[in-house]
Structure 1
Amino acid sequence: MNPFEMVIGIVLIVMVANVMKARYKAKHGILEDEHGNEQLARPADTGEASRLREEVRSLKERVQVLERVITDQRQTSDLSLEIEKLRDR
């Protein structure tokens, strides 16, 4: 192997390593600022995200009520009242 081929080989190895490093960072959400500092990417809290969090919280509450209604051994009148409470929400 002549010196020219060795230089080309080293350049190719470094380029492949840089591509693999960039893919790893992109996959794991690691960003670099202009000074070279690395940090995890966190999405901005948008109105949509907060609306979805509120909806999930509401749905979790409803599931808890439904679980309680189904697992409790109550009379049918109590069951009807619980279902009506859920409809009013």
Structure 2
Amino acid sequence: MVVLIVLIVTIGRTYRERYKAMGREPVGDSDEALRLRGEVTRLNERIAVLERLATDPAKRLSDQIDALDDNRK
């Protein structure tokens, strides 16, 4: 009976360690992680601009475009 319990516990620990080793490691500050964080930040800024464009009244948007056009001249 004791041998059976030890066998079950050993098999359970083996499976647990195997699943931990299958890519469930925390993301550190590697170059790839830093690049992805920068890209997410940039995409969030773009989404904020698109939300502002979609929700602003047409008159205010038109005025801002005209102001940009006036600055180029």
- Please give the TM-score of this superposition, normalised by the length of structure 1: 0.51
2:45 to 44, 56, 61: 61
Point out where structure 1 has 5 or more consecutive residues left out of the alignment.
1-8, 30-40, 82-89
Indicate the RMSD between aligned Cα atoms, in angstroms.
2.6
Name whichever structure is richer in helix by fraction. Answer: 2
Matches of 1:71 and 1:65 in 2, distance apart?
10
- What residue is the counterpart of 1:47 in the other structure? 31
Higher relative contact order (CA 8 A, sep 6+): 1
1:77 to 59, 62, 70: 62
Structure 1 segments (4+ residues) deviating >4 Å: none
Point out where structure 2 has 5 or more consecutive residues left out of the alignment.
66-73
Aligned pairs, number: 60
1:18 to 5, 10, 19: 10
Among all aligned residue pairs of Structure 1 and Structure 2, give the percentage whose two residues are the same amino acid: 38
